[in-house]
Amino acid sequence: MPLNFVQSSTVFWAEKIMRKSLANHLVITPVKEEIKRKAKPGHTYMLYIHIPFCHTFCSYCSFHKFYYNEEKALQYFSFVRHELRKVKEQGYDFETLYVGGGTTLINEPELIKTLEYAKSLFNIKEVSCESDPNHLAPNSLRRFRGLIDRLSIGVQSFDDTLLKRIGRYEKFGSGAQIQEKLLKMAGILPTTSIDLIFNFPGQTEEQLLRDVITAQALDIDQITTYPLMQSNLMKKSISKAFDGQKSDNEHRFYELIRGAMNQYRPVNGWAFSRQEEKLSDEYVGSHSEYVGVGSGSFSFLEGTLYVNAFDLDQYMDKVANEESAVIASCAFTPKQRVQYQFMTSLFDGMVDIAQFNQMLKTNVERVMGKEITMLKLAGAIEISDGVIVPTEFGSYVSLVLMREFYAGMDGVRAMFRSQPKVDKIVNL
């Protein structure tokens, strides 16, 4: 059903507040001296590794990437392993590893070597990795048994018209061919997840529902439905792909998705699972602190966002010289950190007030009293037994907040974005 006046005002307020907060407070400054980080005893951290290579680029994707060059990639993986060793020396340990890209499986032997090395250094129990439909050959995936626990596949849509519009039909095949690949890989790895994107310009309700029904029929463990994120970095290329066509059915499509996911249960603002156990999806929601390794990766530690060198040569030069790969940072104020963690926790499904206060040494009901009151009056949250949970409308509000947060992070990427090419070879 359409948003009422109060709900529409709440969504407008959420977008405005997030954009204003990011514009005013996400101030990334170059570091003047080498960052020396050290793990805190008893803290839980997640490890993120970025693989910034793709054979081809998609019109809607803003993630940090370069065109694939095998020689450069071989060098890059060796530097990532070297940076992992430095992180170990700083006292960090991890139970969860998330590998993102780029195309993470673009060089399988090097990825295997890197995952094995990470597991030899840290007590990693769960590994999530991204893929595209071109890297789903069963024989190849069997090599990752015992190394990858959850494989997330960027399908985006099964609709051939949309696939052609976003430049994926020629790259990855038709919707029917992608379905065939997914069926053949069933059961090879413990957990399979697929990503769908909704709210493309001109996308119809019928196209959306077909995608959702098709995904469920494949008996996939998890389905993640991302709204199209039209940050300033990507608006031009998205507009070009759809011939300037404009439409915005985000809330209506979100309602349709939740209503159609009758075989799955929501696990956060945009992911659905058919399993009882909760699967890692957005690591910023399920992990309050994380260490990023690799070119263009982010870390969030003790209220500070750290940015690794984006330029590939700069990144490898720094690691080769035994320097920190961090080139910039942004320190959150105590209130900003509370706001950030509240947003990610709400997106992830709940805020346990006592645990939240203990973790951040705060009083969230006092620090965020105005925001909590507004969300409650709008019917976006419910509070019971010391726990704040989003309503169905509140889940949409959290999706809007997260969408705007990621758009803001695109602004950070734009600051450091290098040309999508590779030249220089650097050796350790």
Question: What CATH number does the domain containing 255 carry?
Answer: 3.80.30.20
Looking at residue 424, its pLDDT comes to 43
Answer left, alpha or beta for residue 173, where phi above 0 means left and psi between -120 and 50 means alpha: left
Sign of CA dihedral 201, 205, 206, 207: positive
Segments of the chain with pLDDT less than 70: 231-235, 276-286, 417-428
Residue 61 forms part of a structural domain: yes
Residue 182 forms part of a structural domain: yes
Q: Residue 390 and residue 398: Cα distance in Å, rounded?
A: 8
pLDDT tens digits, one per residue of 45-61: 999 999 999 887 777 77
Contact 77, 115 (CB under 8 A): no
Domain count for the chain? 1
Sign of CA dihedral 87, 88, 90, 95: positive
Looking at residue 421, its pLDDT comes to 43
Looking at residue 417, its pLDDT comes to 66
Whose CA is closest to 281, among 269, 263, 292? Answer: 269
Distances, alpha carbon 342 to alpha carbons 8, 242, 371, in Å: 21, 36, 10
Encode 384-414: b = buried (16+ Cβ within 10 Å), e = exposed: eeeebebeebbbbbbbbbbbbbbbbbbbbbe
For residue 172, give the 3-state DSSP assignment.
helix
Whose CA is closest to 201, among 159, 151, 238, 149? Answer: 238
Range of the domain at 134: 45-285
Looking at residue 84, its pLDDT comes to 98
The β-bridge relationship of strands 29-30 and 298-301 is unpaired
Residue 63 forms part of a structural domain: yes
For residue 129, give the 3-state DSSP assignment.
strand
Beta strand segments in 200-357, E: 222-227, 265-266, 271-273, 290-293, 298-301, 304-308, 326-331, 351-352
Residue 427 forms part of a structural domain: no
Residue 17 forms part of a structural domain: no
Residue 389 forms part of a structural domain: no
Contact 338, 364 (CB under 8 A): yes
Residue 139 forms part of a structural domain: yes
Looking at residue 422, its pLDDT comes to 40
